[in-house]
Structure 1
């Protein structure tokens, strides 16, 4: 004999960041990118900057 239990529906997913947050993050990344522009890791931050631009 099996019993079925009714499980509640999962809560609706909410975004972690707002569109205002993405603009603030993009500005911060750009500032840092200018600081480290001559270092090899600047490529990663440049890519992040462009990806953040697609969010907002």
Structure 2
């Protein structure tokens, strides 16, 4: 009689890191598009949000 041990299915594994959605080149293109859009929205309430996004994207690329 041979005894086998059941496979462990309760072992916790590290979650896999999700793949990046945007490449570094994408960030540069998006930043460039926002740079051209900033003068258009200069007097609108969201202009500050776009300016902040522009600067955040600059740190990534």
- Normalised-by-shorter TM-score class: 0.7 to 0.9
The structure having more radius of gyration, on CA atoms, is 2
Q: TM-score, normalised by structure 1?
A: 0.75
Structure having the higher helix fraction is 1
> Where does the alignment leave 5 or more consecutive residues of structure 2 unmatched?
1-6
Q: How many pairs are equivalent? A: 55
**Inter-partner Cα distance in structure 2 for 1:48 and 1:34:** 14
> Where does the alignment leave 5 or more consecutive residues of structure 1 unmatched?
none
Q: TM-score, normalised by structure 2?
A: 0.70
